[in-house]
Chain A
Amino acid sequence: MSRLQSTFEALRADNRAAFVTFITAGDPDYATSLDVLKGLPGAGADIIELGMPFTDPSADGPAIDKAAQRAIAAGANMKKTLQMVTEFRKDNASTPIVLMGYFNPIFAYGLERFCSDAAAAGVDGLIIVDLPPEEDAELLEPANAAGIDVIRLATPTSDDVRLPVILNGASGFVYYVAVAGVTGGKSATADDIGAAVERIKRHTDLPVAVGFGIRTPEQAAEIAARADGAVVGSAIVSLIEEGVNAEEPRAQTVEKVLNFTQSLANGVRSGRN
């Protein structure tokens, strides 16, 4: 059984939703980013999305865009992103890691080589935001062969005609993008999200995690009551930006990020009480 499957099964047995965190690999530098990554499970993260930095993240808002630019400026590249996962796996064999980003850096690395190196590093899934089902066959094949799930995205514009196209070939979980927009923008109402999750579940048995617009423990709790997972990204990444702007010691930034992560995790855990 894959790490993603066993994680969702264990959470289902506990009757709680997954808390999914996003950080950008190498932001603001490799060492700090690795410290945050290693600390996330202890701060309550059930699944970690690790962003692969790209110069042109056109589906992201300012927070994650800047995180990518900071990481690239500090020397981040795909090899180091995979290296981070390898380092993480030395002390953690159970928390799933999903790499998230854009297709071009993977394409440049070479699809087959990327999938086998990612699997060897301990990567469990991929979310490629600019690779719709129409174009992902060339990645799906080597990813699945390497035992990596390709996680598809459903959105407010995915109607009942579109959903089957998205879900055909999906594995791991379904990522529901709660608002039409970029990361770090507007928030949808909990009721709209609940209705959307129910609709997606009529088409699939996969768990549905919800992201975009979740910034507070309260919002995370509301989503956790209605979905199989709640994803927080921009709000966490913004703390790194604040730390960099304030020129605070890196250890202090790591602590702030992990404390905030813990408060969000508590929100998720309270969601179904």
Chain B
Amino acid sequence: MALNSYRTGPDEKGHFGQYGGRYVSETLMPLVLQVEQEFNEAMKDKSFLAELDELNRQYIGRPSPLYYAERLTEELGGAKIYFKREELNHTGAHKINHAIGQVLLAKRMGKTRVIAETGAGQHGVATATVAARFGLKCTVFMGAVDIERQKPNVFRMKLLGAEVKPVTSGSATLKDAMNDALRDWVTNVHDTFYIIGTVAGPHPYPMMVRDFQSVIGRETKEQMLAMEGRLPDSLVACLGGGSNALGLFHPFLDDADVAMYAVEAAGHGVETDKHAASIAGGSPGVLHGNRTYLLQTEDGQVEEAHSISAGLDYPGIGPEHVWLHETGRVHYVNATDKEAMDAFQLCCRTEGIIPALETAHGLAHIVRMAPDLPKDHISVLNLSGRGDKDIFTVAKELGEEI
């Protein structure tokens, strides 16, 4: 079936094709339905949109620059590479875009407390930040393993007044943090809003997070037209749950000449049992409120993901991505821990930008793709986060003590 548009989803029940939906316990259903209704109303409310716009400019620092990565372009000798500089946002990553939108919604709904799950800590920091800004109580669930590998962000959250709750169940990483956040939410439905950190979860979250993140793609389009007088030929973004990828891609989905590459974390390789590539190595299933692709056993038990990057270490993926994969609109590729590490270092040395290890997976695909492309091919990488938080992991990987 030929689609008129790739941008009309989800349907009224939150389905992208057969993915998405609302797979939550009955206790949460009324609240989830209320979040949907409030979100739909807010997005038509001029004063809500004006406040969001004001905060985007004055607090986050938007628009983020679209930057021509000249030395990296020369180094790779092919495509002309641009970075969309989301790492320059307040708190150092794209996560603040959806955190600010969701906290405004929480306030609108009269909630006094927000909770979040976090992997790399970027979404936790973003949530703690907006909670402080609006005077709401904040609890962040974080896997004990991730707390160990992302200490700077843990301390940042504490400074911002958030309570960081270590999660020890399961693999003690992002998926388990999401389980505990859901357990907290169902226990505190009356006063608590769950700020989900990616384009996953029960409807309306995948749509809502996407819409708040789409500011990335809208700005990129405008900036590219101003700088080059045309749209880019390709877009590249790393992908765990998929918020930064969808934020960049969504406004371009109906521009047929723009190719899109989302880069999953291949860990030690997708042929091993240590990776986080749900598209390459997963199958359809239901987890955390939505139907999507999961890393799972034949018996439907969810498997642990692995990536050097805590933010990509998740055994699922946003449902709209699965739909975009199955329709063929977006290409889903992957990069290993090692490829990401190499790209990380290349970016530091050629551009003077320390990218997040998550982002380095997107860069790794650029490094692979760019040399074979003509010089008039324009490619945009979503430079989704900065890598200050990762220096300990990188040092360990390089065998250096700091």
Measured CB to CB, the residues of A under 8 A from B are: 53-62, 65, 69, 72, 77-78, 102-109, 129-132, 134-135, 152-159, 162, 166, 177, 180-182, 185-186
Cβ of A132 and Cβ of B30 under 8 Å apart? no
The interface residues of chain B, by DSSP majority, are classed as: mixed
Nearest B residue to A72 via CB reads: B301
Q: In the complex, A137→B287 CA distance in Å?
A: 18
Nearest B residue to A132 via CB reads: B29
Nearest A residue to B179 via CB reads: A58
Q: In the complex, A72→B284 CA distance in Å?
A: 21
If A62-B169, A129-B25, A182-B187 are given as contacts, then 7 extra A-B residue pairs at C-beta distance below 8 Å, sorted by A number, are A105-B299, A108-B297, A130-B289, A152-B26, A157-B29, A157-B189, A158-B26
Q: In the complex, A54→B179 CA distance in Å?
A: 12
Contact bitstring B129-146, A, C-beta under 8 A = 1, else 0 = 000000000000000000
Q: Which A residues lie within 8 Å of B29 (CB)?
A: 132, 134, 157, 162
Cβ of A177 and Cβ of B26 under 8 Å apart? yes
A55-B186 contact given A104-B296, A108-B296, A180-B27, CB 8 Å threshold:
no
Cβ of A182 and Cβ of B183 under 8 Å apart? yes
Q: In the complex, A105→B182 CA distance in Å?
A: 19
How many of B's residues come within 8 Å of A, CB to CB?
Answer: 39
Cβ of B27 and Cβ of A157 under 8 Å apart? yes
Cβ of A108 and Cβ of B299 under 8 Å apart? yes
Cβ of A130 and Cβ of B30 under 8 Å apart? no
Q: Enumerate 16 A-B pairs (CB-CB under 8 Å) in ascending A order.
A: A56-B287, A57-B179, A58-B183, A59-B25, A104-B300, A107-B300, A108-B285, A129-B26, A130-B25, A130-B289, A132-B22, A132-B24, A134-B13, A153-B25, A180-B189, A185-B187
Which of B186, B297, B302 contacts A56, CB < 8 Å?
A: B302
Cβ of B286 and Cβ of A109 under 8 Å apart? no
Q: Which A residues lie within 8 Å of B176 (CB)?
A: 56
Shortest C-beta distance, B13 to chain A (Å), equals 6
Cβ of B183 and Cβ of A104 under 8 Å apart? no
Q: In the complex, A186→B298 CA distance in Å?
A: 35
Measured CB to CB, the residues of B under 8 A from A are: 13, 21-31, 169-170, 175-176, 178-179, 182-183, 186-190, 284-289, 294, 296-302
Shortest C-beta distance, B241 to chain A (Å), equals 15
Q: Which A residues lie within 8 Å of B26 (CB)?
A: 129, 132, 152-155, 157-158, 166, 177
Which of B286, B297, B301 contacts A107, CB < 8 Å?
A: B286
Cβ of B299 and Cβ of A77 under 8 Å apart? yes
Report which residue of B30, B178, B288 has the largest number of chain A beta carbons within 10 angstroms of its beta carbon. B30
Cβ of A78 and Cβ of B299 under 8 Å apart? yes
Q: In the complex, A181→B296 CA distance in Å?
A: 27
Q: Which B residues lie within 8 Å of A54 (CB)?
A: 300-301
Q: In the complex, A192→B349 CA distance in Å?
A: 65
Cβ of A58 and Cβ of B182 under 8 Å apart? yes
Q: In the complex, A132→B287 CA distance in Å?
A: 14
Cβ of A157 and Cβ of B299 under 8 Å apart? no
Cβ of A103 and Cβ of B301 under 8 Å apart? no
Cβ of A130 and Cβ of B27 under 8 Å apart? no
